[in-house]
Amino acid sequence: MNHHLPGPVVTTARGAVRGLRRDDGTTTFLGIPYAAPPRGADRFGPPRPHEPWDGVRDATAPGPNAPQSERGLGAIDMTPYFGTGWSRGEDYLTVDVWTPSAACGGLPVMVFVHGGGFVAGSTRSALYDGSAFARDGVVLVTLNYRLGIAGFLDLPGAPANRGLLDVVGALRWVRENIAGFGGDPDNVTLFGQSAGATLVGGVLATPEAAGLFRRAIVQSGNGRGAFTTEQAARVTAAAAEVLGVEPHVDAFADLSDECLVRAASRLAGIDLRTATHHDPLLGLSPFSLVLDTQPADAVAVGHGCDVDLLIGTTTEEGRLYLVPTGRYASSTAEDVHDTAARSHPDPARLVETYRTTRPGASHGELRSAIMGDALFGAGSRALAAAHAAHPGSGTFAYEFAWRSQALNGKLGATHAVDLPFVFALAHLPPLHGPAALLGPDRPPADLADRVHGTWVRFATTGDPGWDPYDTERRATMRIDAEWTRIDDPRGRERRAWS
C-alpha cells in the first residue's frame, strides 16, 4: 500500500503544480494540462496553449480522459488495458509525470502513448503506472490525446490527425517543462503500443516533431497503418450520415461529446478497400492516421532517421482479435482466405506461404498469423527496414514470444501481452486468471525485470543490448523465458508481404 505524503511543488510555464510523494521515494504529478481544454469548435482545431493559472494546481489525483465508449474484447478481461471508460471533464489534454525526484537533474525521459484502436484508452489505465520507471531513474510521462471523431475523423475545414498533433503538443510541453521534474529535455524517448505505436511512427515521420525526441520505441504498431484520404472520406461520409449533419467542421462543432462518442461506436465495419489500397486495420477500427505517405515510406526518404529506433511485435498478435470472441476455434479455410484477401493483392499465394511455413497449422492458427502480420508485423518490418537503410541510424528489433495460457492456453503471445513486462507490472492481480491477459500461470520471475530494464537501457543509452537490425541480417531478439538472437525471423513470410 502506498502512503502518499504532500509532494513537492514544480513551477511549469503555465503555473505551479503540487504532486504526491510516494512511500517508494518517487513522486507523481497527475493531470497536468499540456494544452487548452478542447471545447466546442476547438475539439477540431490544433491543440492550443492552456491558460496560465494562479496559485498551486493540485496534481495529486487522476484527471478526466478523452471522451470514449467502454471497450471490451469478448471473453478476456481487458480492463487493465482499456481502463474503465470515460471519466468526464473538459480539461483532459494532460500528462501524468512519474519522477525519482523533482530535485534531480539530467535524467532520461520516456513519453508513453497508449493504445486502444484510436477510440479508447487513457493514462488512467492500470497498466500505465510509471512507478518502476521512476524507481529506475527515469522520468516517465504518459499522455491523453483526442480519440475517435474529435481526434481522427478527417473533416473538411479541420486539420487532419488531431490526435497526433496532441502527441506533438505534449512533446513540446516536455521540451519546455521536463527539466523542472528532473528530466533531460535532450534525452527523450517517445514510445507507444498498438494505436499508440502507430502514432509514434507517425510522429517519427512528422517534420514538425524533429528535435523533440531522441529515441523511439514502436511496440506492435504499423508503419503502413495510415488511411488514404479516399478511405478517410468514406468514414467521414458515414459519420455525417449517422449524425444527420453535413460533413464539415462547422456542422460538427455544435454536437455534444456524448453524441460524437455514440456515433463513433456505430461506424464499425465500413469497407475501406479501394481500387489501390487495402484496409490496414482490417475493419477493426474506423479511425487511424490519415496520410498521403505511409510513415514507413516517409522514413525511407529520411524523416526520423537520426532518431534511435527499437521496434517489434509479439509472436501471435492476431489471437487477441479471434480467441476471446470464439472466432479462432470456428475459423474455416474460407475465413483464412478472406483475411488474406482483405490485406494482400495475391491472397492465394499468401495463404500458401503460411501453410508451407506452418505445416499442420489449424485454420485458426493460419488466420491469426496472417491477421497479426497484416495489422502489425508487415508494417513494423517495413518501418524497421526503412529506418535501417540509412547509414548510422540505430535500429533494433525484437519479437516478444512469451505465451499466456489464458483461455485454455489459446491466447498465447498475443497483442498487448508484452505491456505488463515493459511497465514491470506483471504481478498485478487483475492480469492473472484463466480469462486475464497473462493467464493462470506465473511468468518467469525475472522476465519483467529484464524487459523493463532493457527499455530503460535503450532510453538511457540508445542500445538495448543486442546487435542492430540491418536490411541483410535483420538481427532480432526473441524475448521469452530465454532470450535468443535470431536473424530474419520468419523471413519467407516477411518476403511474401514486401
Q: Using CA atoms, how far apart are residues 63 and 124, in angstroms rounded to an integer?
A: 8
**Structure confidence at residue 4 (pLDDT):** 52
Give the number of residues written for the chain: 498
Question: Taking the complete model, does pTM exceed 0.85, yes or no?
Answer: yes
Short-list 270, 345, 354, CA closest to 318: 354
Please give the C-alpha separations between residue 166 and each of 51, 409, 460, in angstroms, as whole numbers.
16, 39, 25
Short-list 451, 449, 430, CA closest to 439: 430
Sort 244 into a burial class: Cβ within 10 Å, 0-12 / 13-18 / 19+.
exposed
Strands 183-193 and 107-113: parallel
Per domain, the residue ranges of the chain are: 5-231+268-497
As a whole number, mean pLDDT of residues 346-358 equals 97
Query: What digits encode the pLDDT tens for the residues 424-434?
Result: 999 999 999 99
**Structure confidence at residue 103 (pLDDT):** 77
**Structure confidence at residue 3 (pLDDT):** 47
Tell me, what amino acid is at 185?
A: P
Indicate if 194 belongs to the active site: yes
Short-list 297, 228, 261, 284, CA closest to 73: 284
Stretch among 91-105, 425-439, 469-483 having the lowest mean pLDDT: 91-105
Q: Using CA atoms, how far apart are residues 260 and 152, in angstroms rounded to an integer?
A: 12
Q: Is the pLDDT of residue 482 over 70?
A: yes
Handedness of CA 190, 194, 196, 200 (dihedral sign): positive
The single residue of 122, 194, 220, 331 carrying the catalytic annotation is 194
As a whole number, mean pLDDT of residues 199-210 equals 96
The single residue of 114, 337, 415, 452 carrying the catalytic annotation is 415
Q: Is the pLDDT of residue 377 over 90?
A: yes
Query: What digits encode the pLDDT tens for the residues 9-49?
Result: 999 999 999 999 998 999 999 999 999 999 999 999 999 99
Percent of the chain with pLDDT over 70: 99
Longest Cα–Cα distance in the chain:
67
The single residue of 285, 288, 317, 365 carrying the catalytic annotation is 317
Topology of domain 5-231+268-497, per CATH?
Rossmann fold (3.40.50)
**Structure confidence at residue 268 (pLDDT):** 86
For 206-219, b where at least 16 C-beta lie within 10 A, e where not — what string?
A: beebeebbbbbbbb
Q: Using CA atoms, how far apart are residues 125 and 403, in angstroms rounded to an integer?
A: 23
Q: What is the DSSP letter of 209?
A: G
- Of the pLDDT bands very low, low, confident and very high (cuts 50, 70, 90), residue 269 is confident
Grid cell, residue 194, equals: 498498438
